[in-house]
């Protein structure tokens, strides 16, 4: 998968993002929402890392935290060799051009009172000293690059369709030649017919500008299309991280298995034969995660130890990491027997 000497562009380790909960008369801090709880992964230059999970699992928070749109609780984030985990927002600003974000809701993420030219050009005012004509030239260039008509430069966001707005959002993100872009569900708010266009645009831009993406999505098939590697998050933690094909072919974590089994199959004959793994119960509150393994409350293969011990992330195959006691060598003897047939079954399903 990654035979070229991989250069790590983004290194995230032990990232925690906890939001305090205040309650009571005096608004005392009574707990915290562990939106992201000890997440570590790397993203190699030029690759796309897909980050998938259910709504509320913390994947968007994780993306924002990496870009330091939040002040993180703990952990280290290195982008292009620079540690930004604890850098102040002020000191961070000059580094922002390197890392950008494309947001989920193209309507809401564009200031309604700014014209397209201003939206795209504003970062140029802040971070470059281009002259006005140069800036305008750059704006047109970017609009061309994302496939927007130059004549629309003075229009306002509400005058565009959803797909066009997302193009504006992408053009804006590209304005300062970033290396790394977090795409936070960039297509979730778009019509299906437009989704492919935008994804293709992203891929196209990646090729042209050598971009690195963190592609956050709940749409497994779209991730499969665009991502090189995929990380699966559950309740603020990464459950499994693997190269795309390996993950889709042999999901190891029961949660990943369940997720993949939920992806509908276009061919009805196959679809009818598939067994769906139905997870029961609700996702526990991230304010009060279960003891031991996060997934123990819903896991179809839960074991006694899952309730006590939080599994650690292990590389079970080259580049394939999973956090599950089933794949813990110390328990493989007992757990393997049950896990193995499931795994094989999943592989077959994945085909």
Partner 1 sequence: MFTYTIRRLLIAIPTLLFISLIIFMVVTLAPSDPTANLPLSIPSEVRAQIRASLGLDEPIWVRYLLWLRQFFWYEPLHMLDSAFGWSLATPDMQRILSWQTRSPVADLIVQRMPQTLWVVGTSYVVGVLIALPIGIISAYRQYSWFDQVGTFVSMVGFSVPTFFTGVLLIVVFSVQLGWFPSIYDTTHQVRDFGSFLFQVKQMIMPVAVLALYNAAQISRFMRASMLDNLNQDYVRTARAKGMSERVVVLVHVLRNSMIPVVTVIALGVPTVFGGAIITEQVFKVNGLGQLLIIAIQGGDVPTVQTLTFIFAVLIVLFNLIADILYGLLDPRIRYD
Please give the residue ranges that form the binding site for partner 1 (CB under 8 A): 22, 27, 64, 67, 69, 89, 92-97, 100-101, 103-105, 108-113, 115, 122-123, 126-127, 156, 158, 169, 172-173, 176
336/339 Cα distance (integer angstroms): 5
Nearer to partner 1 by C-beta: 119 or 293?
Answer: 119
Minimum separation from the CB atom of position 105 to partner 1 (A): 5
**What is the full DSSP assignment across 96-117?**
GGGEEEE-S-TTTTS-TTS-HH
Minimum separation from the CB atom of position 95 to partner 1 (A): 8
Q: What tokens does 33 get? A: 């929402």
Nearer to partner 1 by C-beta: 157 or 289?
Answer: 157
Q: Are strands 212-217 and 180-184 parallel, antiparallel or unpaired?
A: parallel
Closest residue by Cα to residue 41 from 80, 69, 78: 78
Minimum separation from the CB atom of position 216 to partner 1 (A): 14
275/258 Cα distance (integer angstroms): 10
Minimum separation from the CB atom of position 96 to partner 1 (A): 3
Cα 298 vs. chain centroid, distance in angstroms? 23
Minimum separation from the CB atom of position 209 to partner 1 (A): 18
234/53 Cα distance (integer angstroms): 6
Nearer to partner 1 by C-beta: 78 or 95?
Answer: 95
Torsion (CA) 228, 234, 237, 239 in degrees, nearest 10: -60
- Side-chain half-sphere CA neighbours of 160 within 13 A: 26
Minimum separation from the CB atom of position 73 to partner 1 (A): 19
CB atoms within 10 A of CB 209: 13
- For residues 100 and 181, the answer to whether their CB atoms sit within 8 Å is yes
Nearer to partner 1 by C-beta: 95 or 301?
Answer: 95
Nearer to partner 1 by C-beta: 23 or 270?
Answer: 23
Minimum separation from the CB atom of position 99 to partner 1 (A): 8
Nearer to partner 1 by C-beta: 172 or 320?
Answer: 172
Nearer to partner 1 by C-beta: 185 or 240?
Answer: 185
Q: What tokens does 150 get? A: 């130059």
- For residues 169 and 103, the answer to whether their CB atoms sit within 8 Å is yes
What is the DSSP-derived secondary structure letter of residue 93?
Answer: G
């Amino acid at each position: 998968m990654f035979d070229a000497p991989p250069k790590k562009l983004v290194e995230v380790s032990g990232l925690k993002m906890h939001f305090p909960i205040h309650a009571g008369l005096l608004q005392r801090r009574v707990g915290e929402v562990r939106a992201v709880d000890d997440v570590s992964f790397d993203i190699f230059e030029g690759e796309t890392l897909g980050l998938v999970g259910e709504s509320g699992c913390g994947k968007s928070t994780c993306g924002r935290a990496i870009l330091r749109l939040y002040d993180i609780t703990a952990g280290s984030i290195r982008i292009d060799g620079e540690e930004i985990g604890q850098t102040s927002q002020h000191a961070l600003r000059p580094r922002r051009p390197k890392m950008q974000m494309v947001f989920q809701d193209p309507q809401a993420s564009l200031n309604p009172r700014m014209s397209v030219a201003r939206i795209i050009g504003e970062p140029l005012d802040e971070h470059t000293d281009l002259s006005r004509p140069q800036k305008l030239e750059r704006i047109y260039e970017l609009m061309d690059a994302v496939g927007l008509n130059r004549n629309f430069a003075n229009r306002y966001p509400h005058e565009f369709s959803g797909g066009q707005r997302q193009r504006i959002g992408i053009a804006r993100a590209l304005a300062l030649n970033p290396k790394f872009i977090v795409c936070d569900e960039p297509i979730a708010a778009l019509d299906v017919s437009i989704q492919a266009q935008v994804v293709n645009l992203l891929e196209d831009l990646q090729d042209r500008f050598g971009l690195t993406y963190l592609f956050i999505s709940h749409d497994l098939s779209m991730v499969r299309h665009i991502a090189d590697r995929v990380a699966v998050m559950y309740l603020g933690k990464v459950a499994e991280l693997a190269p795309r094909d390996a993950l889709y072919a042999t999901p190891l974590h029961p949660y990943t298995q369940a997720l993949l089994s939920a992806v509908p199959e276009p061919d009805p004959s196959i679809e009818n034969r598939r067994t769906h793994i139905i997870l029961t119960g609700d996702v526990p509150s991230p304010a009060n995660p279960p003891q031991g393994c996060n997934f123990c409350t819903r896991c179809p293969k839960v074991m006694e130890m899952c309730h006590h011990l939080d599994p650690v992330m292990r590389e079970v195959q080259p580049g394939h990491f999973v956090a599950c006691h089933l794949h813990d060598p110390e328990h493989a003897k007992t757990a393997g027997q049950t896990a193995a047939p499931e795994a094989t079954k999943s592989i077959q399903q994945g085909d």
